[in-house]
Amino acid sequence: MQTQQQITSDLYYVGASEGRHPLFENIYPVANGMSYNSYLLLDEKTVLMDTCDEAVRDIFLTKVRTVLNERQLDYIFVHHMEPDHAALLDEVMTLYPTAQLVCSSKTVTLINQFFNRDVSARAIIVKDGDTLSTGRHTFSFYTAPMVHWPEVIVSYDQTDCILFSADAFGTFGELDGSLFADDIDLSTFLPEARRYYANIVGKYGNQVQALLKKAATLNIQQICPLHGPIWRKNLGWFIEKYQRWSTYTPEADAVLIIYGSIYGHTEQAARILATKLSERGISNIALYDVSKTHPSVLVAEAFRCAAIVIASATYNNGIFPPVETVVLDWKAHALQNRKFYLIQNGSWAPASGKLLTAMLSDMKGCSTDENILTLTSALKPGQESDLNALADRIQQGLA
Ligand code: FEO
């Protein structure tokens, strides 16, 4: 038995959550599961907004069948072709052979690539501003290329003022019963929403900005994303976060310190620095051991914090590998507008600082402090003044 969840008088939630798969996209840890949202509208015409991930196939198909209650499916809006939403599209097209697809032209190509199926005869191709009436409802469509695939569209229900936003405004994590963001603790929600944004969409800030500009022209009362809760109150809170993240603007005057330490000496320097920052009145300090922290967490934290300290051992005459992985991930996600500070350690040939400086040099809007604090094996008593000077520079950089 499946509980049908109603969103409005004629809009139903037919997605589902699951927590058995430990990784989303086989890369991102999702300890709190994942929701795969899909929506079904019962207007004069029936409309399915996307399908779901294979992981929730049975529950999704049961919900669709139950909500349709013997009615035919008239339209499938395909907002996004990534398989966490389109894995079941081929099967749904077969189950409902008269349903027409509403999608971008690139979607038709991708359907052929994924399913070896030419759907051009049953596809209604939409472009920016195109509209479609389903009876009581009229939808308009907007392209959202590279948020975060090229074929993405979002749809706007002009009648009930609902934006179906594809991956935008999603989050990691399952839905715990309620569908709505106003029923959940946003202090718990925010870190996972940030981690989702930074890692899934973060690279495409300009494209997110373009989508936000289109959305700003609409009267949006509700946002129905493809992951996470539905927003029907306080939408501005989340939109403001998207404004910040998509312009690579830090959320806070926070200091992120990551350390890669083999025997604890580099870690010790990082910890003392954190204490010295605290003594200077900086309250928002985040300290992480890269060897124990998934890179996706550090991508998200880098999107949050204004200043970033990298403390790295030298390893094989290079950067300690887990540190290098994180920096590569920051670059891959186009992190911008941050101030970096470096601590390097090397018992006979410290090299990580110089190599990190080179790696960071082409990151847009970023600067790296030229004064690299160098440890040779361990922090020496006389180096306290160096740590004090580094803490002073970080404090001044935040001012
Ligand atoms: Fe949730 Fe890009 O798929």
**Residue having the nearest C-alpha atom to atom 1 of ligand 1:** 167
Tokens 């030419």 locate to 118
48: domain CATH number? 3.60.15.10
CA-closest residue to ligand 1 atom 3: 82
Q: What is the pLDDT of residue 4?
A: 64
Share in percent of the chain as helix, strand, coil (round to 5): 40, 25, 35
Give the Å distance between the CA of 89 and the centre of ligand 1.
14
**53 CB within 6 A, ligand 1:** no
Same domain, 229 and 260: no
Query: Same structural domain for residues 320 and 201?
Result: no
Task: With residue 297 as reference, give the H or E element that holds it.
Answer: helix 295-304
CA 62 to chain centre: 29
Residue 28, both tokens: 């991102």
**Nearest ligand 1 atom to alpha carbon 166:** 1
* Cβ proximity of 199 and 191 under 8 Å: no
Residue 399: its pLDDT value, please? 85
Please tell me the distance between residue 355's alpha carbon and the centre of ligand 1 in angstroms: 35
Which atom of ligand 1 is nearest to 226's Cα?
Answer: 1
Domain closes at, from 217, 246, 275: 246
CA angle 248, 250, 256 (to 5 degrees): 115
The protein residue whose alpha carbon is closest to atom 2 in ligand 1 is: 82
Euclidean distance between CA atoms 279 and 391, whole angstroms: 10
User: Nearest to residue 116, comparing CAs of 89, 79, 136, 135?
Assistant: 89
Domain boundary among 231, 246, 261: 246
Its domain, for residue 377, covers: 252-398
Asked if 191 and 60 sit in the same domain, the reply is: yes
**Domain final residue, candidates 204, 222, 246:** 246
152 CA: nearest ligand 1 atom = 2
C-alpha 74 – ligand 1 centre gap (Å): 24
Cα of 85 from ligand 1 centre, angstroms: 7
Q: Which CATH number is 364's domain given?
A: 3.40.50.360
Beta-strand pair 367-368/339-345: parallel
Eight-class DSSP state of 111? H
Ligand 1 pocket residue status of 82, Cβ below 6 Å: yes
Spans in the chain with pLDDT lower than 70: 1-4
Please tell me the distance between residue 130's alpha carbon and the centre of ligand 1 in angstroms: 23
239 burial level (CB within 10 Å; 0-12, 13-18, 19+): middle
Q: Within this chain, do residues 280 and 307 fall inside the same structural domain, yes or no? A: yes
> Same structural domain for residues 63 and 155?
yes
Could you tell me if the CB of 151 is within 6 A of ligand 1?
Answer: no
String of DSSP letters for 155-182 = EEETTTTEEE-TTTT--SB---S--BGG
Query: Do residue 231 and residue 291 come from a single domain?
Result: no
> For residue range 267-314, what is the model confidence (pLDDT) as tens digits?
999 999 999 999 999 999 999 999 999 999 999 999 999 999 999 999
Answer whether 79 contacts ligand 1 (Cβ < 6 A).
Answer: no
Whether residues 223 and 165 fall in one domain: yes
Query: How many structural domains are present in the chain?
Result: 2
The one-letter amino acid code at 343 reads I
Indicate if ligand 1 lies below 6 Å from the C-beta of 157: no
**Per-residue model confidence as pLDDT tens digits over 320-363:** 999 999 999 999 999 999 999 999 999 999 999 999 999 999 99
Which single residue is written with the structure tokens 């529950």? Answer: 59
Amino acid at 307: A
Q: What pTM, to 2 d.p., does this model score?
A: 0.96
Q: Do both 177 and 232 map to the same domain?
A: yes
Do 213 and 109 reside in the same domain of the chain?
yes
Each as own residue / partner, the long-range contacts of residues 140-148 (CB below 8 Å, 24 or more positions apart, any chain) are 141/102, 142/211, 142/214, 142/215, 143/104, 144/168, 144/207, 144/210, 144/211, 144/214, 145/207, 146/204, 146/207, 147/201, 147/204, 147/207, 147/208, 147/211, 148/200, 148/201, 148/203, 148/204, 148/207
Cα–ligand 1 centroid distance for 154 (angstroms): 13
80 CB within 6 A, ligand 1: yes
Surface-to-core class of residue 220, CB atoms within 10 Å of its CB (0-12 exposed, 13-18 middle, 19+ buried): middle
Number of neighbours of residue 383 by Cβ within 10 angstroms: 18
Shared-domain flag, residues 269 and 159? no
| 232 vs 221: CA distance, rounded Å | 6
Two structure tokens written together for 280: 């200077």
Rounded to the nearest whole angstrom, what is the distance from the C-alpha of residue 167 to the centroid of ligand 1?
Answer: 5
Please tell me whether residues 214 and 287 are part of one structural domain.
no
